[in-house]
Amino acid sequence: MEQTTAVRPVTPQERAARAARNGGEPTLEFAERVPYDAYVRASTLHRLQEPLSDDPGEMSFLMVSQIMELYFGLTCHELRHAKRELREDRIWEALAPLRRAALHLEGLNAAWHGLRWMSPADFNRFRDRLGEGSGFQSAMYRQLEFLLGLRDRALIRPFRRQTDVYDELTAALATPSLWDEVVALLARKGFDVPAELLERDVNGEHEAHPAIEAAWVQIYGDSGPDNHLRLLGDALTEIAEEFGDWRWNHVKAVQRTMGAKVGSGGSAGLAWLQRSMARVVFPELWSARTAM
């Protein structure tokens, strides 16, 4: 059973006194659970791996997948924080969580390195044990896509019998994305944003709109040090690039381990992933560059 020992706060004075008593050595005796484990839950994390085969390489596949799930959740946490700040017109305050999100996506991309050893022969040794399990079925990845403005109601259908997950995804679909909040912010800042763009169907995606493109052309034409909107555009561009890199790394990983075989989750595998990359994150930030 999971222990719930609380982490007891320590003041700087207590920390200094403990160091003096220890003569500079670390504390080795604790009355209860080790504080690090009470906070990080490391012992719990390391019990969450249950490989389905005896193949030693499966542990890499399983743990890298779990690491990616944690990064999906962490990035969503930062993007939701940024959304709240933008909704209150606090552009400067939104930059920190956006920059952290870009760094988390960079870490997410680095996680692919742990699977670069895997060939089709390596994957085939345990692939059949996974049944129909596929990264396509990651609910947290869908949350991340929805936050970035990539919405497709059909993609939540696999979760209909997991009512708590399905309800969370349905709520995410009905909530304005990060990009929706950016467009609303531009309108409040006086840019010519058509009313229909502020009333978009939150369950669908959109193509680049000339009015939003024009706003970004104007924003990037101002090189002043107080142009926080330009800093916002730079932070969003970094996120879009890192997310695009993750999708491309996913394509390469599938090519390396499966070629063009049918995907485990029933899709066309590689071909499906390649098509999905055509769905652009923050489209006007990219299309506006042609006119800059």
pLDDT in tens, 159-177: 999 999 999 999 999 999 9
Q: What is the mean predicted confidence (pLDDT) over 135-158?
A: 91
pTM for this prediction: 0.91
85-108 per-position pLDDT tens digit: 999 999 999 999 999 999 999 999
What is the model's pLDDT at position 233?
A: 98
Q: What is the mean predicted confidence (pLDDT) over 223-231?
A: 93
What is the rounded CA–CA span in Å between residue 79 and residue 95?
A: 10
| Percent over 70 (pLDDT), the chain | 92
Least confident of 63-77, 202-216, 220-234: 202-216
Q: What is the mean predicted confidence (pLDDT) over 222-246?
A: 95
What is the model's pLDDT at position 152?
A: 87
What is the model's pLDDT at position 1?
A: 46
Q: What is the mean predicted confidence (pLDDT) over 31-45?
A: 90
Closest CA to 202 of 217, 180, 186, 222: 180
Mean pLDDT score across all residues of the chain = 90
Q: Is the pLDDT of residue 151 over 60?
A: yes
Amino acid letter, 30? F
Q: Is the pLDDT of residue 235 over 80?
A: yes
Q: What is the mean predicted confidence (pLDDT) over 261-288?
A: 76
178-208 per-position pLDDT tens digit: 999 999 999 999 999 999 888 766 666 667 8
What is the rounded CA–CA span in Å between residue 178 and residue 72?
A: 15
| Percent over 90 (pLDDT), the chain | 67
For the record, the structure tokens of 83 come out as 């959304």
What is the model's pLDDT at position 145?
A: 95
Amino acid letter, 184? A
What is the model's pLDDT at position 29?
A: 84
Least confident of 57-71, 130-144, 178-192: 130-144
* One-letter-per-residue 3-state SS of the chain: CCCCCCCCCCCHHHHHHHHHHHCCCCCCCCCCCCHHHHHHCHHHHCCCCCCCCCCCCHHHHHHHHHHHHHHHHHHHHHHHHHHHHHHCCCHHHHHHHHHHHHHHHHHHHHHHHHHCCCCHHHHHHHHHHHCCCCHHHCHHHHHHHHHHCCCCHHHHHHHCCCHHHHHHHHHHHCCCCHHHHHHHHHHHCCCCCCHHHHHCCCCCCCCCCHHHHHHHHHHHCCCCCCCHHHHHHHHHHHHHHHHHHHHHHHHHHHHHHHCCCCCCCCCCCHHHHHHHCCCCCCHHHHHHHHHC
Q: Is the pLDDT of residue 276 over 80?
A: no
For the record, the structure tokens of 283 come out as 């489209």
68-89 per-position pLDDT tens digit: 999 999 999 999 999 999 999 9
